[in-house]
Structure 1
Amino acid sequence: MDLEKLGWIASPFNPNKPDPRFILYDDIGREILIQASKESSRIFYIYGKVGMGKSTLALWMSEVAKAYDLEPILIHGGRLYDPEIVKEKLKTIFKGPGFFRWLINLIRRKKTINYLVIVDDVTEIEDRNFFEKLVGIIDHPKIHASVCLFGNKKLEEWPYREVFTNRRIIVYELKKPSKDKILKMIESRVESVGGSGYGPLTLEEIFDIIERNETIRDILSALEIKIMEKLRAGQI
């Protein structure tokens, strides 16, 4: 893409890079964070189609969790899943917070630490031992923790659902956002790279792309392709 013609410093529509600055489901994220901050041992399951924005929401929640007095632990599933890294991350729950976090809690006179374990691409993890460890953390009498799982399958279709048998799981489905939300996201992305409005795209072109694509990733890919087509045709 010839970014110089557009005055952009980068492509705003990279479909393969989750960016929490352009969150579309912050309402769901805040609802979960509020619930987890009020009561521990909760299990949340968020599912949706591949490319709907689950990883972006997981990243966003991990970044803002401390504002809700939650200590986030983000674990990546899928091809990024590494049992050794996960083991070290879960150890921090038993060790307690670092010195500065401990000092902040002391100043606030906060005696307990509420952890939120956020697991992205959970349906791509084939490690029963990991899920049993999560149950152990939730059940531990001296640990205050909740778990937020992000998957591509419905809860009843997930093979490791049975590890959490007899436990209440709060389920959320990520659906295609409204046109207004998507338009605001597009505008924010264009502004982030030095552009304004919707860049070289017309509202008619954007609405057509939104109508023809179901997921956020597909919409971003189609936007990028459309701009490349206009550049090649000399329309920009």
Structure 2
Amino acid sequence: MIAKEQGITGIQQRIGYQFANPDLLEKALTHSSAVSPGRRTERSYQRLEFLGDRVLGLVVADLLHRRLPKANEGELSRTLNTLVRKETCADVARTLNLGPALRLGESEARTGGAEKEAILADVCEAVIGAVYCDGGFDCAFELVERLFGGMIGAANAKRADAKTALQEWAQGRGLEPPDYTEVERSGPDHAPVFTIAVKVQGFAAENASGPSKKIAEHKSAEQFLIRENVWKPTS
């Protein structure tokens, strides 16, 4: 019980929200495999994940509408999809170290469920749903803005596709695929900053930083393409 309570307390500290009803957070961390079939709807994160997915989409859409006043509908949609996709949510769950706190059935735990991208993404959304249920929309908005807001500047359509563009550019010249290496991690656990270096055979490496490894990789790829005059800088 002590370890469980410490885990719940640690997660609340990392997400920056104190639950009035900690049972909601416990439910958000419970996979259906850990619950008897007759109680899965009631005691697993499935319903909270459904709710959190919608809250996340609404809050991110609101943030994009306010922060990107010159973006058209297509640009807003592409950026929204980048921010709410499974990979981004799973990255946030890893940043919050939610995996070790998950309640999993024996089989799911044995097959690495705590590290599976789909489960981590679902749990991230379930935690958002739990905060919404516990504290209302304002608290959920603050949580989403805290966890996802720092990614908005890098999550435009061009940056989201920079790695693909760089790989195609390298292959078109008969070069090996770009190599991405983490060179530094800084900042607190709840708001880390990753620095990634991208290397292409015969060219100097290019470094860039971001709130997740994927964002930093895309930014380093974009900066490489700009440096080599493949892409023009954004205005």
Task: Identify whether the pair has TM-score above 0.5, normalized to the shorter chain.
Answer: no
TM-score range, shorter chain: under 0.3
Q: Which has the higher strand share?
A: 1
By relative contact order (CA 8 Å, sep 6+), the higher-ranking structure is 1
Q: TM-score, normalised by structure 2?
A: 0.24
Q: Which has the higher helix share?
A: 2
Q: TM-score, normalised by structure 1?
A: 0.24
